Each structure stands twice: as structure tokens, then as C-alpha cells.
A and B are shown apart, each in its own frame.
Chain A
Amino acid sequence: MKKIFAGILVLFVAVVLAACSGGDDSATESSNGNGGSNVSGDVIRVGLDVDPGTMDPRLANDSSASRVTEIVFDGLVELDENLVPQPALAESWENPDELTYIFHLREDVTFHDGEPFTADDVKFTFDSILDESFNAPYRSLYEPIESVNVVDEYTVEIKTSEPYAPLLSYLNIGIVPEHLADNADFANNPVGTGPYKMTDWKRGSEIHFEANAEYFNGEPATEKIVYYIIPDNTTRVSALEAGDIDLLHSPVSPQDIGRIESDDRFVVHQTTGLGHTYLNFNFEDPTIGEEAVRVAISHAVNKESIANDIYAGMDQPGKSPLIPSSWAYTDAIEGYEYNPELAQSVLEDAGWVDEDGDGIRERDGNKLSVVLKTHTEDPNRMQAVEFLQYELQSIGIDTSVETQEWPSFQESMQTGDYQVALLGWLNLVDPDRAMFNQFHSEGGSNYGSYSNPEVDELLEKGRTTIDQNERAEIYAQAAKIVTEEVAYNVVLYQGYVVMHVKELEGFTVHPGGYFKSLRDAKINN
């Protein structure tokens, strides 16, 4: 017994000594990294917030899955920083008529396993996305596609059932190899054409990539990329400061930005993102269905304070569902200014008066009460909701907060089990994506059952009109109406933040958070 114990003790002392002595040299070489398993040499270490759910681009629906598939796969096109489609696997394309796109593919591309990339892979990719039983999360974006036809080995024709203006913006989805993608294991062992090959996926902790020397755009600048999964926003930034990672991007805690900015070891990029955060109003709810209540709530939202204090200037006060990084953006829509007095008088005029002096307004004996919902995964939204609770309470609305985990929250939204909810939209590469499903009477994401025939007509027209200027006008009209009727109150235009060590060069910041440009990035020591 004594021996066992002595053994344990010795072992432990060894452990502690080892850990401590190891600690000493790490302090001196901390910039050389000690996070995750040891990697050395020509490498960029990236911190991400969640483990990807899949590595199949057709199934990707979380941000990490996109970050992986962006560097492992290529799309027919890729979107530049201004969201304009640029050639990728397709060298060029043409529109012989409003219903047809013809893509001319590069002929020098091979998949990571050495097999050539051809038109058949393109057809296969889109056919499988459109296949209902494949359950692709973004299937609805491609639904207007009627057929994908192989013209010859390097020419593909895509036919839509009606003119579908946004299509090109969605064709940056990664093309998968027909000969492998049906393997049950493909989502875990992706093989693409992209600049990096996925070599090792330690679930929940790290993903390793190696440069694809055969990449058609030339060999990537850096030999290895490692993604580390660090769920907590604060810990992730700490890992950057501790020298455990080289680069991270949104989501970040707004309060960390200033500190990193003033630290001369790092570079911080802030730009407008492709999303907005908004209050969703449920028109089916008797209280919220009343326009005066929605207007009053909107006037009680101090967007400036939310943007500048809670979000520390990372996000901008929002006005309408058209985001500033979009070509459809217009500043003609003013939104609702913060004006609690006005909010109160709107309620007074609608008959909501505090008769019994308890600080809460009533009408016909019913208290004016509202439940604000949001999801727990985003600490900033939780804070914003806590702040709104106070603001609404101050104008005499009995307000309580209910935060739920994302799946429960999403179910609440889809079943209309809410009054007012704070949430957001991402990846709004086209105004159609920002508005059609959200505001069309038949839209799949029209949680609050908003319905206005005029808006329906505009949204349908916007979708089928090809001319961009004409579309911008249509969406501006629609956005004006939904804002006036307070279907949404867009609180914030989301910002996008990248932080990296200052030795990192060649990384281009993309508002969508895309990592395509990792292929040109390198750390110069």
C-alpha cells in the first residue's frame, strides 16, 4: 500500500515539476504557441467559435462549416469584398436569355485525390442540393433552378423556371466530386479542389489543413492551417494574446476590441458585415398586432446606446432590412428615432393609460405587457434584451425577458410562440435573401405572419427583375413599407471584426467573414 502511494506521489511530483519547468520555457517562446497540440513551421493558427457540423459544402449551415469548406472547395464563382461574383471554377459565364446561365469551366483543375474536375461534378452538386431527400439546408435558395445540363466536359448550363436575379450570388457554394461525394463518410473526409486539403479533424478541438500544391490559382502562401475550436469569445481573444493562435474573427466580445487595438502586437480590422440584428414583431399576437404598440416599442429602442455601449461601436445603429454593404442600401429610410416621450404619447393616443398609478399602462382593464425573447448563445443580444426590458418598462410596458437556447428559440419563432424577439440574419448577399422569405406572405421565415399584398408583389418583382438599379428601387420601396408598418425594427447593422498578429500579411478581410483569402496569407517572422 505504501509503495503504491509512494508511487503516486512520485508520479505527481514529476507531473508538477514537468508542468512547471515546461511552463518556464513556454513563457519565453509564448509567441511560438502552446495552444492545442503542437504545430510548428509554416503555419497559421486560427481560432473559431464552434466545431463545424459537417465538411460537405452542400450541407454546411454553421459558420465554421463555411470556413472549412471555403478553403477546401471552390465554387463556380466567388464573391469579392463588394459581393460581386468573380470567376473561380467558372472562367466566364453568359446569359443568353433571362432563364439561362452558361458557365465555361476551367480545364486545369483537379480534386485533391488527383481526379479532374468536370461539368459532371457541377451538375452532380446542384442536383443533389435540389434533391429533397438530401435535405440541404439552403435548398430554398436554389429552388428556382429547373435543370442543370452538361453541355460538354467543361461547359454547364443552368436553367431557371423564372428569371431569378440572385442566383449568381449563391453559386459560390463548393463543388463536390461526383466520384466521392456519395460516400457516407464524405462529410467527415472532404475532398475538394480548394487551396487546402483537410488532413485531420479532432472533433471539438482542432482541424488541420495542408496546402494543395496543385491548386489552380498557384500554390498557397502558407504550408499549414490549423483551426482551433475555442467556444468562449473571451477565451478566444485571450488565446490570441497568449500567443496560442494567430487569427480570429467575429463573434468577439465588443469590450475586447479596444484592448487588442491598443496592443501593438496585433492588428484589428473592423468593417460592416453581411447581417443585421432586429426586433421581430408577431402580428398574430393581439397586443403586438396593434401598430401603435409596435411603433411605441420602436421609439423606445435606444439604438445609439446599444450600438455604442453594448456593442462598443462594433455594430452600427440600424434603420431598415437593407444593409449598408449591399448595393441595394439606401439611407432614405429613416427608421425609428429614439424618443421615449413620443413613444409614451403614441401609447396614450391609442388608449393605453396608466390608470391605477402602478407604472404600467392599461386599457379596458388589461395590462400592457410584453415578453421579449432572445437566444442565450449571444451574450450581446442577452445584454441588449436586458437593456430593452428596462427601456420598455420605463415607458409603462410591463416587460419580462425570456431567453432560450437556440433550438428552443428557433422553434418558438417558427411556431409563432413569441411576442417580440431579438435575433439576426446573416449572409445577406442579396436583398432577396434579406426580404423575400422574411416579408412575403408565403415566406418560409415570415415568423410574425406579416402580410401586405403590395409588399408581396414588390418582392416577387425584385426576384425576377435582372437589372440591378431597377431592383434597388424595388427593394427600397418594399423596405420602406415594412419599416413603416414595423414588421421588423432593425436595431443594428452587424459589424465584422478580424484580429490577427501583425506579422500576418496577405489576408483580405471579407464582410461575409469568408476565409478564401487565407490562401494568400502568410506569417512573416
Chain B
Amino acid sequence: MKQLKRYVKNKSVVIGFTIISLVILAAIFAPYLTPYDPTEMDMSKRLISPNSEHLLGTDEFGRDLLTRLLYGARVSLFVGFISVSVAMTIGVLLGLISGYYGKWVDTIIMRIVDIFLSFPVILLAIALVAALGPGLGNVVIALGLVYWTNYARVVRSTVLAVKEEEYVQAAITMGASNLRIIFKYILPNVTAPIIVVATLGLGVAIVAEATLSFLGLGIQPPEPSWGWTLSVGLDFIRNAPYLSVFPGIAIMITVLGFNLLGDGLRDITDPKLNK
């Protein structure tokens, strides 16, 4: 209860949480929120400015932009959640191994992390998608493969700290199995920092998908991803600016939500700021 109060007191968390909840609800209930179909084309209705019938106007194929964005939320959230899950799995595993076993395993894994950190991440993602080919699945895999380093570092340092705790040392000397120690003592301690990294990572992934789309390496039509809608919209920026402004705003608000939420959570879980 006291815990909950702390979350509610933090404005960042409240605003961020509200935004994200709304976006998730919009994605889930998209079919009930709009009478239009996101893929049905009608060239006679193309490029209509926002009006009472089409609140955000229609796109270059006469599709309702608001509908595209509502359904697009599904795609963007999917990209965010799945790629973050991939990254988290890789990062947490390697971080655990690195921190727990130490020695040469640690050295090797941390060198790999160094390599990934000094690589311009977006370039790595570009190369990966170019190699795998564009499309939803490959974009998700590529983003997962490039954004795991933060998890590994956070987990590793937590493991190193926790390992020195007396009760863990005691468990080790009493011959508890490695798995047991990891699951019982270490994982509970890394959850908080991981949630922070993951929340911020969701925003990063959504922006990265947009960037890949902009470079022609994103999700394939007719999937209404925000990134694709935005980058196509930019071709029409002089005649139909709403086609790029609204998708951009959708991305911005959602990412802002994740960033505020993540930042707030970090403040709450960071002991330094909790006196």
C-alpha cells in the first residue's frame, strides 16, 4: 500500500502510465473505436483533409488516417514489446552468466558488450535488417539483437552486488545449487532495474522502427505501422502535412509515455533519491 502511494505520488509515473494505458486500450479496442477498415482503399477519397467524417483526414489511398493509427498502435506496441522481450532475454541471460560466474566468462561477455556499445546502434540495426530483409519479424529480431547491452550491464552489476551479501554467501557455502541461488536470491533483486530499462527500451524500439521505415527497411505494407505511415506521409508533407504530423505525434506521445514512466520508476527505485 505504501509502495503504491509512492507510485501515485510520482507525477511522471502517473502521466506516463495514463498515456500508455490509453494507447494500449486504443490498440485493443481499435475495431470498436472506428467504423473504417484500416486496409480498404478508395482512391476517390484520397488525401481528404481532416473533417468531421475523417477526424485526421484520409491517406494517399483514401484510408482513414485515425483508423490506420489506431490499428498501427497494435503494430508499434507489438514491435516494442517483442523486441524488448528478445533484448531482455539475451541481456538478462548474459548478464546473469557474466556476473555470477565471473572470471573469463565475464571478461568475454563484457568485451562483447563493449563492442556493441561502441557500434552505432542504428547502423547495426540497418545492417541486420538489410541482411535479413525487411518485414515485421525481421525488424523485431534486429532490434532485439542490438538493444540487449543495457540489460546485461544492469543485471551484471546487480549480481555482483548481491553475490557479496551474507545471506547469498551463506547459501553458496551451504551448497545451494546455482539455479536455486539465481532464482531465489538474484533475480528478485534485478527485477526493478530491468523494468526501468525495459520501459525506456520500449520507447527506443518504437522510434527505431520508425527510423528503419524511413530508410526503407521497415515493416512491409499493408501493415499499418506508425513508422511506415509516417515515412510515407513525409512524401506528402507539402500538400497534406497532417499525414506526417499525426503519425509523428502518435509516436511522440507514446514514446513520451514510456519515457516518463521509465524515468519515474527509476526515481522511485533508485535508493539515492528516496530519503
A residues apposed to B, CB below 8 Å: 233-234, 237-238, 253, 255-256, 258-259, 302, 305, 309-310, 376-377, 379, 382-383, 385-387, 389-390, 400-405, 408
Contact = CB atoms under 8 A, between A and B. Distances in A.
B225 to A, nearest CB: 13
Interface in B60-97: 60-61
Contact of B60 (A237, A383, A389): A383
A238 B43 contact: no
A386 B221 contact: yes
A256 B238 contact: yes
B238 A309 contact: no
Contacts of B40: 390
Interface in B187-246: 216-217, 220-222, 232, 234-240
A387 B41 contact: yes
A411 to B, nearest CB: 12
A256 B239 CA distance: 8
A238 B238 contact: yes
Contacts of B237: 234
Interface of B: 39-41, 43, 46, 60-61, 130, 133-135, 216-217, 220-222, 232, 234-240
A302 B42 CA distance: 12
12 contacts: A234-B234, A234-B238, A253-B236, A255-B235, A305-B43, A382-B232, A383-B60, A383-B61, A386-B221, A405-B216, A408-B130, A408-B133
Query: Which 7 interchain pairs have the tightest Cβ spacing?
Result: A376-B216, A386-B221, A390-B41, A255-B239, A401-B220, A379-B235, A309-B43
Contacts of B235: 233-234, 253, 255, 379
Contact of A402 (B41, B61, B134, B240): B134
Contacts of A376: 134, 216-217
Contacts of B220: 400-403
B232 A379 contact: yes
A274 B222 CA distance: 31
Contacts of B46: 309
Given A233-B235, A376-B216, A403-B220, 14 more contacts: A238-B238, A253-B235, A256-B239, A258-B239, A305-B43, A309-B46, A376-B217, A379-B235, A382-B221, A389-B221, A401-B220, A401-B222, A402-B134, A402-B220
Given A377-B216, A383-B232, A402-B133, A255 B238 contact: yes
A166 B217 CA distance: 39
A237 B216 contact: no
A385 B232 contact: no
A400 B135 CA distance: 11
Contacts of B60: 309-310, 383
A52 B217 CA distance: 23
Chain B CB count within 10 A is highest, among A302, A385, A390, for A390
Contacts of B221: 382, 385-386, 389, 401
A382 B231 CA distance: 12
A401 B39 CA distance: 14
A510 B168 CA distance: 80
B238 A404 contact: no
Contacts of A383: 60-61, 232
Contacts of B61: 383, 386-387, 390
A255 B233 CA distance: 12
A389 B234 CA distance: 22
B59 to A, nearest CB: 10
A449 B69 CA distance: 42
Contacts of A382: 216, 221, 232
Chain A CB count within 10 A is highest, among B130, B133, B221, B232, for B221
Nearest to B221: A386
Nearest to B129: A405
Contact of A405 (B43, B130, B222): B130
B217 A405 contact: yes
Contact of B133 (A305, A309, A400, A404): A404
A135 B43 CA distance: 46
Nearest to A306: B43
Given A309-B46, A387-B41, A390-B41, A403 B216 contact: yes
Given A390-B222, A400-B220, A259 B238 contact: yes
Contacts of A233: 235
A255 B236 contact: yes
A400 B134 CA distance: 12
Contact of A259 (B216, B232, B239): B239
Nearest to B216: A376
Contact of B39 (A258, A377, A390, A408): A390
B71 to A, nearest CB: 15
Nearest to A308: B43
Nearest to A386: B221
Nearest to A310: B60
A309 B43 CA distance: 7
A253 B232 CA distance: 11
Contacts of B234: 234
Contacts of A379: 232, 235
Contacts of B240: 255
A166 to B, nearest CB: 35
Contacts of A255: 235-236, 238-240
Nearest to B40: A390
Contact of B134 (A310, A377, A390, A403): A403
Contacts of A401: 220-222
A116 to B, nearest CB: 48
Given A238-B238, A305-B43, A402-B135, A386 B130 contact: no
B44 to A, nearest CB: 9
A52 to B, nearest CB: 21
B186 to A, nearest CB: 41
Contacts of A405: 130, 216-217
Contacts of B232: 379, 382-383
B207 to A, nearest CB: 19
Contacts of A302: 43
A387 B59 CA distance: 12
A233 B231 CA distance: 13
A268 to B, nearest CB: 15
A27 B259 CA distance: 38
B46 to A, nearest CB: 6
A233 B236 CA distance: 11
A464 B21 CA distance: 72
A387 B135 CA distance: 18
A71 to B, nearest CB: 30
Contacts of A387: 41, 61
Nearest to B134: A403
Nearest to A385: B221
Nearest to B240: A255
B37 to A, nearest CB: 11
Nearest to B61: A387
Nearest to B220: A401
A511 B118 CA distance: 48
Contacts of B239: 255-256, 258-259
